[in-house]
Chain A
């Protein structure tokens, strides 16, 4: 089970709903499971490689592979529902080798 701290990240746009998640493992430890939630792409050529995930409900998630911080941007419409669903999904993920 993944635990996390969450905080809103503001930008220029009043309707933006981007939240930062500090999770209890490295992002790369969740990649396989994240890949089942939507379209996952990685940029391995960057100084610190990143992943970008477009989930089926329009949520966009990104972060460095070796880091433990991910940013999730929720669709403006119904962002609260999307955030709640994302957090439930995130909590239910398991680090490889960890028992449920």
Chain B
């Protein structure tokens, strides 16, 4: 039977931009231990309390190089965080939000919603053929539209191109715009430094390059910023107040958190600190893989400069969805095909309407796995 043809241990995983796999063993152990242990006491703390949420905040503050871990609220994922930042922002009717054609639906859909309600007007900045924002173009749009807020993706989840977030943020600040960075694809693999770069909000996820469990993520909020929480409810403390507390991170953390998964994320953050990723080697390996795919006949989206280990390509004569099915059925390769939840970028990068095939490597990807991928492309075209 078909289902017996795939054994989990023999699968070749090229879908790390969706969620990372494998995770370090200590992540599973931490989740398991947390779920077998007595639950926490809902922010009531005390010296004897094991606080995995606070451990995450401390690790993340170190990683982001921000001075106050309390400015990092933890939640379900980057989408949750982006909704908090975008929908919770005190817009005044008619404000312009500047964003890019490379954005994920996690940014686009909150913006569409606010636009439909007449709260904002969204302006899209085109991107280069590799998916990167050109700072000169960015500046032109800033001067022309005077946005109240800018929201942009740090690293494209389609092409892997990393934006010069520091420059884009600096230019936006020169025009007094609030800066929101979507770091879902970058945190853990390239530097993300909001205080140094002058970024007001950073949305991130725990389950991609931080190697934590799904269902973890968060939002960094600069000290000068205040958002109106999208979700309100119990906080375990200050229960005698009608409104959510003003203080961070409580302000953005209504309801019982996913403590077990955050125990896993804390373990992952500790693990990656002890086992830092060699970003330069991974980038070189990604480029070499892209070149090999190109030589095998794939039409690869060319990305120059800093990138994450993501490669987008198409195979002449093949629908991307069919390629993904053949990779899976015939070669045990797991990848992602289609629009990658970023539908507006395709026309900018010269991709067909059906989208692209996307493979995304990790520090754990082996040469043998890359060999199988390249072989598969060659044999599809034979």
Contact = CB atoms under 8 A, between A and B. Distances in A.
Partners in one complex: yes
Contact of B330 (A48, A68, A69, A71): A48
Contacts of A22: 1-3
Interface of B: 1-3, 5, 321-322, 325-326, 329-331, 337-341, 343, 355, 376, 379-380, 382
Interface in A2-40: 11-13, 18, 22
Majority secondary structure, B binding face: helix
Contacts of B379: 43, 45-47
A75 interface: no
Given A12-B338, A67-B1, A47 B325 contact: no
A46 B332 CA distance: 12
B1 A62 contact: no
Interface residues of A, number: 21
A84 B343 CA distance: 32
Contact of A63 (B321, B329, B382): B329
Contacts of A62: 322, 325
Given A11-B338, A67-B1, A71-B325, 6 more contacts: A13-B338, A43-B380, A47-B376, A47-B379, A64-B5, A64-B329
Shortest 3 CB-CB distances between A and B: which pairs? A12-B338, A67-B2, A69-B2
Nearest to B333: A47
20 contacts: A12-B338, A12-B339, A12-B340, A12-B343, A13-B339, A43-B379, A46-B330, A46-B376, A46-B380, A47-B330, A47-B331, A47-B379, A48-B5, A48-B329, A50-B329, A62-B322, A63-B2, A64-B5, A69-B1, A69-B3
Contacts of A13: 338-339
B380 A67 contact: no
Q: Give the one of A49, A63, A64 with max B CB within 10 A.
A: A64
Contacts of A63: 2, 329
A58 B73 CA distance: 51
Contacts of B355: 12
Contacts of A46: 326, 330-331, 376, 379-380
